[in-house]
Structure 1
Amino acid sequence: MKNRVLDLREILIIAMLLIGCSMQQEEAKAQVDSTKPAILVFYKTAGFYHESIPEGIAAIQKLGKENNIAVEATKDASVFNDDNLKKYKAVVFLSTTGDVLNLQEQTAFERYIKKGGGFVGIHAATDTEYDWPWYNQLVGAYFDSHPAVQKATILVKDKKHPSTAFLPDKWERIDEWYNFKSINLKVKVLATLDETSYKGGKNGANHPIIWYHEFDGGRAFYTAGGHTPESYREPLFLQHLLAGIKYAMGK
């Protein structure tokens, strides 16, 4: 009986060692490859959690592998400090919601942008940080409301930007279409929604849905798509997203 107990202990020790090695290997894989330009995908939620977030992370990681971009994903807000942020060409807010950064982290992010960093907002990035006026100007607007998921027509207004250059003039997609408030009138609108093509639009004839701008020393790009998991399997949407990320990364 004693020998059997010893055997079980040995098995447990070996199993624990194997698990430890596996965790170390996974941790090593998660580290940013310093030989490549890097981006940070931030997906913390303090409000509604979008079930499409894992699909979005996986899609951006795949785009990174295909385009020589190192991608690190986290919901840990403590990474928003000067030493860490300087590793990234751009920070992507992937359907973040609510109050996700404390005052110290906000200040570090502001410094990052002022030093030339890039920002990409996807979908609920506009449903984030309602009490931070600087962020409102950076992301370009705040979420107000949305109707049910449905098909709508995006009217591409500016094809000079790399994120829209290849899109059709009228781009039909199924997604959750945001109505916006507190819109920064200085952003450069790339595409609007045709509110006659769906039910529930509240921004009228000039309903921005994709935009970009240079802001406070850095670059910002926002696309309102990306609510559904299927979005991250759409070739056109992924091409659009990649080009927006590359713009935010700069030269």
Structure 2
Amino acid sequence: MRAKVRTVIAVVGAALLIGCVSGPAVSDSAVSKGGPGKPTERDRVLVFSKTAGFRHDSIPDGVSALKDLGAAHGLAVDATEDGGAFTSRNLARYDAVVFLSTTGDVLDEAQQKAFEGYIGRGGGYVGIHAAADTEYDWAFYGGLAGAYFQSHPAIQPAKVNVEDRAHPATSHLGESWERTDEWYNYRSNPRDRAHVLASLDESSYTGGTMNGDHPIAWCQEYRGGRAFYTGGGHTKESYADTAFRQHLLGGIRWAVGAAQADCRPEKGYAPLFDGTAESLSQWKQAGPGSFTLSDDGTLTSSGGMGMLWYAATAFGSYSLKLDWKMASDSGDDNSGVFVGFPPSDDPWSAVDKGYEIQIDATDAPDRTTGSVYSFQSADISKRDRALNPPGEWNTYEIRVEGERLRVYLNGEKINDFTNTDPARSLRDGHVGIQNHGADDRVSFRDIRIKELPGKASRSSAPPGD
């Protein structure tokens, strides 16, 4: 396998982005890549579209689309329908393998073993549509794909609810996505095992059989590798659709390690801010500046220094998740997430009596992204591997249990801090987001919380009410 943090396998039915080969590619010597943002060669993807059952007539369109995306975005793509390409030596050449509408038993036992080893060494997988209708007797593959196909109704339009708008496969979409496709029902629900990116609104079409919880795209870390699956892609028209092509590109970028995201399963979170003006009714601005709510449900800071804080409830033991990105042209913006502070109209109360999880590209280590501001730096090497660049979305999980505070960036733990200051306590406090200054623009989406066993939340009236 090429020397790289992540290797990804995408099987989309033909070659992904650049070249197209009719048979298994011959291995070249491994080529080392530079550090983050400094590749010495392009990421390489193998598109695999062998079928042993139903064959989709959209496969050539899928191959062509993947080649176009590769050419435009610096991905080298080979395509094959020969299972002989699945050798340890050959797979090591690729950063991802895309299964494009494969069906039936497409790999023999030796090829399966080579692929399992590839994933175990950090390889990546991308499954498109009928990739879920593949290798029913190979348990490893079933876990990798996330769920097996069961049935489908006729091709028809449906509403897709976008559950994660930070992942590169879905960050370009609104809260819902109307499109026409052949909508699969699955034999099991992957939600407990994988991170659901989008789900079908079964009331928007006929023939859904998953009792109202119908994932249609998901991602997961699986046995050492990365796995992304989307149920779309039956129709030829899908591969000419700009939004669907971006969906595929984002999934591939994550699978090859070119973009980061939190793909841990997520259940049990309640929204504090869901993109609507109504959900802001329990938030309060402290100090100067403001946040602007855009039509796509994004809050963006301006002016300051102030803070928008959730005034209805103080929290004790919880997991707080939110999506953020630096939004100015400079890419050097300043903001943060405050936790554990008492109710106040003065933003400095949060500074003096709570803790800030920093968002800032350039400063001292204990004052940059992922730090507990001025108290403890993030693990810089882990932070830098997990961080997406300015203009792209990141996800924080801030986990508070007792006086312990842990920070996860795109699923990677980057800070573990314990409060020992008697003037502060994480056991009972509010949460908020900072607007730092006139030149600092940071955007936020989907602020949600899950209370953990421990002290219950406490309602509190905002000052002056």
- How far the C-alpha of 1:135 sits from its partner, in A, is 0.6
Q: Could you tell me how far apart the structure 2 residues matched to 1:234 and 1:204 are?
A: 29
2:168 is paired with a residue whose SS is coil
Tell me, yes or no, if structure 1 residue 212 matches structure 2 residue 216.
no
1:135 is paired with a residue whose SS is helix
* Aligned position for 1:234: 241
TM-score of the two chains, using structure 1 as the length reference: 0.86
Going from structure 1 to structure 2, the CA distance change for 1:142 and 1:128 (only over 3 Å counts) comes to same
In the alignment of these two chains, the number of paired residues is 223
Structure 1 unaligned regions, length at least 5: 1-28
Answer 1 or 2: higher relative contact order, Cα 8 Å, separation at least 6. Answer: 1
- How far the C-alpha of 1:30 sits from its partner, in A, is 3.9
Give a deviation string over 1:124-181, Cα, whole Å, max 9, x none.
Answer: 0000000001111000000000000000000001112111111011100000000001
Tell me, yes or no, if structure 1 residue 247 matches structure 2 residue 258.
no
- How far the C-alpha of 1:212 sits from its partner, in A, is 0.2
Tell me, yes or no, if structure 1 residue 154 matches structure 2 residue 160.
yes
Tell me, yes or no, if structure 1 residue 49 matches structure 2 residue 50.
no
Is the radius of gyration larger for structure 1 or structure 2?
A: 2
Cα contact 1:176–1:227 (8 A) shared by 2: yes
1:124 is paired with a residue whose SS is helix
Q: Could you tell me how far apart the structure 1 residues matched to 2:164 and 2:89 are?
A: 37
Decide which structure has greater helix share: 1
User: Which of 176, 182, 193 is the matching residue for 1:186?
Assistant: 193
Aligned positions of 1:63-82 closer than 5 A: 63-82=69-88
Cα contact 1:136–1:182 (8 A) shared by 2: no
* Aligned position for 2:91: 85
- How far the C-alpha of 1:204 sits from its partner, in A, is 1.7
Cα contact 1:142–1:183 (8 A) shared by 2: no
1:57 is paired with a residue whose SS is helix
User: Which of 99, 103, 110 is the matching residue for 1:104?
Assistant: 110
Tell me, yes or no, if structure 1 residue 224 matches structure 2 residue 224.
no
Structure 2 unaligned regions, length at least 5: 1-18, 32-40, 259-465
* Aligned position for 1:141: 147
2:186 is paired with a residue whose SS is strand
For the aligned residues, what is the CA RMSD?
A: 1.4
Cα contact 1:144–1:181 (8 A) shared by 2: yes
TM-score of the two chains, using structure 2 as the length reference: 0.47
The one-letter code sitting in structure 2 at the alignment partner of 1:46 is A
Q: Could you tell me how far apart the structure 2 residues matched to 1:55 and 1:159 are?
A: 27
Identity of aligned residues (%): 56
Going from structure 1 to structure 2, the CA distance change for 1:168 and 1:36 (only over 3 Å counts) comes to same
- How far the C-alpha of 1:190 sits from its partner, in A, is 0.8
Q: Could you tell me how far apart the structure 2 residues matched to 1:213 and 1:83 are?
A: 25
The one-letter code sitting in structure 2 at the alignment partner of 1:147 is P
The one-letter code sitting in structure 2 at the alignment partner of 1:51 is D
The one-letter code sitting in structure 2 at the alignment partner of 1:221 is F
Q: Could you tell me how far apart the structure 1 residues matched to 2:103 and 2:235 are?
A: 16
Q: Could you tell me how far apart the structure 2 residues matched to 1:45 and 1:163 are?
A: 26
Q: Could you tell me how far apart the structure 1 residues matched to 2:49 and 2:127 are?
A: 11
Q: Could you tell me how far apart the structure 1 residues matched to 2:110 and 2:144 are?
A: 18
The one-letter code sitting in structure 2 at the alignment partner of 1:173 is R
User: Which of 57, 61, 64 is the matching residue for 1:58?
Assistant: 64
Tell me, yes or no, if structure 1 residue 95 matches structure 2 residue 101.
yes
Q: Could you tell me how far apart the structure 2 residues matched to 1:81 and 1:228 are?
A: 31
Aligned positions of 1:3-18 closer than 5 A: none
- How far the C-alpha of 1:36 sits from its partner, in A, is 2.0
